Amino acid sequence: MAPSTAIIGAGIGGIGSALRMAAKGHDVTVYEQSGLLGGKISEFYQDGFRFDTGPSLFTLPSLVDELFELFGEDPREHIQYRKLETSCKYFWDDGTIVNAWQDNEKFAAEVESATGVAKSKIKDFLHKSEQLYDITAEIFMFNSLHKLSNFFQPAFRKSLLRVHEIDAFSTMHNKNQKWFQHPKIVQMFDRYATYNGSDPYQTPATLNIIAHLEHNIGAFFPDKGMYSIVNALTHFARRKGVMFLVGQPVEQVIVEGKKAKALQINNQIKTYDNIISNVDVENFYKHLLPAHKPPLKENLNQRSTSALIFYWGINTTFPGLEVHNILFSNDYKKEFDHLFKLKTITTDPTVYIFISSKTVKGDAPAGMENWYVMINVPENRGQDWDKMITESRKNIIGRINKVMNTNIEKHILLEKISDPRTIERDTGSFRGSLYGPSSNGKFAAFLRHPNFRRKFENLYFTGGSVHPGGGIPLSLASAKIACQEVP
């Protein structure tokens, strides 16, 4: 009889785990409390518009491809995506514009033309980012940091010999400031700290590896939008025997001795050989395993940021915008002080505009665009969100109008809003924090919850709140690490 594995939560980490366990020959059942698969990767349709509601950038697509290749199948038969011509377009209030072309030579020339920063500075920085990735990926992204035997593997030993090169004791901002001096280009590369909800003025410069993922490997986009990743993987998983049970909240994990023996669901006990949690770890211990404490207290590390998102149906098109766009704050340090120290929102936030209809034409009616307009906000600590949302909406519209020389409000046909409260409600993210703990601090990577615990023989952890972190690539990496530990 095949071993049985239960997975709690159908976020991307849970879906990746389901496929990996099915490839091991396990009978796999995934329990999802909501009515929709994908966790933070979701979508909705309204009045002819389609909106992706979660992650909007697709990097390291090889981690998705690998899930099909485990079964000897061609990923292109199941999902199609392409590399974007530009990863992001950056705007500042003084009229400076930088288009981050995926051709690094063209990107470096654009930076030099717009700001005077030499092309060589950009290319050297991206080369350094690649080196950081080569040194750290094997240690921090694709293996457990919490298993001593890993540190004796040849790849680990090779990386450890170069660990002094990873800039762990300098902040991202300080390293970028020394490298570029130019405030706009420093800000442009500091932004990568936000990819896992962190603060460039606190997070180690090691996170400059993110520039490598986006610029050297590339920014991609699925032909049918971000939610098509979930559709492709779940349809494939069902073909491989995985059972997805939606609207099925797990009430408790039953532990006997060192073994996670069963799940309680609808007051029934269901036994499994292995259990994998894709639940935010804070909520996992609070609700599903209340008799056991997490290995590290939550206050050892700051929570990552959340988001305030306006989904707007726009009744015209803006040829000057790309798929991904950033309208930068005039005081970045102040913005992060508000996020992490004051737990509020600056009056001068950086605005991100994602327009999938630029590349997926069916995502908006002809002559229109679907705008996903986001600012970073703190996790929910009981702030007056209704007041902050009203004020932030005015500030966001003011920035868009100034940068785009428009009156955007007259073009908004529909509006839907997501904030930390709704994110927490809809995705189970503790306090609406998108990435669990932040990466603020030299040892933040070691403070994340491990993918397994020695006190339990058969309980594993995956998803954005555990090692190695949040976002699609790292959540898929967490599934790979966790499933490697299952016998």
**What is the pLDDT, as a whole number, of residue 180?**
97
Q: How far apart are CA 321 and CA 353, in angstroms?
A: 9
456: left (phi over 0), alpha (psi -120 to 50) or beta: beta
How far is it, in rounded angstroms, from Cα 182 to Cα 332? 14
Q: Which two tokens stand for residue 245?
A: 């049970």
Q: What is the pLDDT of residue 454?
A: 87
| Other Cβ atoms within 10 Å of 148 Cβ, number | 7
Element (DSSP H or E) covering residue 325: strand 324-327
The reported pLDDT for the residue numbered 310 is 98
What is the per-residue pLDDT for 299? Answer: 47
List the strands of the sheet with 259-265, edge to edge: 252-256, 259-265, 268-271
The residues, any chain, with a CB within 8 Å of residue 9's CB and separated by 6 or more, are 30, 31, 32, 33, 39, 277, 278, 279, 428, 463
pLDDT for 139: 76
Tens digit of each residue's pLDDT (9 = 90 or more) over 150-190? 666 776 666 666 766 778 789 999 999 999 999 999 999 99
From the first residue on, what is the mean pLDDT of each consecutive set of 10 residues in the chain (487 residues)?
97 98 98 96 98 96 98 98 98 98 98 98 97 85 74 68 76 97 98 96 94 97 98 98 97 95 96 98 95 71 93 98 98 98 98 98 97 98 98 98 98 98 96 93 82 93 94 96 93
Q: Which residues of 367-393 are buried (b: 16+ CB within 10 A; e: fewer)?
A: ebbbbbbbbbbbbbeebebeebbeebb
pLDDT in tens, 194-238: 999 999 999 999 999 999 999 999 999 999 999 999 999 999 999
Q: Could you tell me the two tokens for 432?
A: 């609406």
423, 323 Cβ separation under 8 angstroms? no
The pLDDT assigned to 151 comes to 65
Structure tokens given for 433? 């924090």
Q: What local confidence, expressed as pLDDT, does residue 53 receive? A: 96
Domain architecture of the chain: domains with CATH: 4-41+58-72+224-297+436-485 (3.50.50.60), 83-119+162-223+302-427 (3.90.660.50)
Is residue 30 classed as helix, strand or coil in its secondary structure? strand
Position 7 scores a pLDDT of 98
User: Cα separation of 25 and 281, whole Å?
Assistant: 27
